[in-house]
Amino acid sequence: MLSLTSPVRTPYHRLPAGPKLLVLSLVTFLLFAVETWVFMLAALAVVALLFAIPGRPFWTEGLRLLRPVSFFVAIVLVWHIATGDVGAGVTICLRLVVAISLANLVTLTTRMEDMLDVVRKLFAPLRRFGLSPDILAFSVALVVRFAPVLLEKGSRLAEAWRARSARRARWNIILPLTLIALDDADHVSEALRARGGLDTGY
């Protein structure tokens, strides 16, 4: 299984996957429940501190993972500036950066196998309804793995558009990004079939 786990060892690597995912869920819920930019700024400072504690290489890796998100954050901010709602735009952008940074922190410091074990246990009661926890856990793993990949490819498409046009890239890159996502899905399905598919236990 492809993993986003960082080779830079940190104190967070020793923490169990279950509590980390639980804290991530609770903090994300809190981020969307609070609507003040001051709270978001404080949360961003805490997240920055968490990335800074392990040292510069880990901090740099965290910033690199945020690079693909910067394009979408810029679009949201420009839109709210244009509509005259700057405060809401700043709050939303800070919320996105904090939530994605926290998710990156968990994926960087947690093995994919450990996260899959947690998801399997959560989905185990669904087995009585004919749903395989293994397939559901694998689906979650694919989302975790390929979401940053698609964000990075979207950022590259936007950069390519800016290099060829004076106009800002907006909806114009949606179609090529969709085709890229479908192509990646096709490659993943072929790789799974080549390896015998998923052993669901049924």
Delimit the domains of the chain by residue range. 16-110, 113-202
Q: Which residues in the chain land under pLDDT 50?
A: 1-2, 200-202
Q: How many CA atoms lie within 13 A of 114 on its CB side?
A: 17
Count the residues in the chain.
Answer: 202
What confidence score (pLDDT) does residue 1 get?
38
So what's the pLDDT on residue 54? Answer: 92
Per residue, the 3-state secondary structure of the chain, as one string, reads CCCCCCCCCCHHHHCCHHHHHHHHHHHHHHHHHCCCHHHHHHHHHHHHHHHHCCCHHHHHHHHHHHHHHHHHHHHHHHHHHHCCCHHHHHHHHHHHHHHHHHHHHHHHCCCHHHHHHHHHHHHHHHHHHCCCHHHHHHHHHHHHHHHHHHHHHHHHHHHHHHHHCCCCCCHHHHHHHHHHHHHHHHHHHHHHHHCCCCCCCC
CA atoms within 13 A on the CB side of 201: 10
Tokens standing for residue 109: 């410091």
Residue 163: what pLDDT?
75
Q: What is the pLDDT of residue 166?
A: 67
So what's the pLDDT on residue 127? 80
Predicted confidence at residue 146, as pLDDT, reads 72
186's torsion region: left (phi>0), alpha (psi -120 to 50) or beta? alpha
pLDDT at 51: 94
CB 147 within 8 A of CB 58: no
> What phi and psi, each to the nearest 5 degrees, are found at residue 167?
-80, 155
Output the pLDDT for position 128. 83
pLDDT at 170: 63
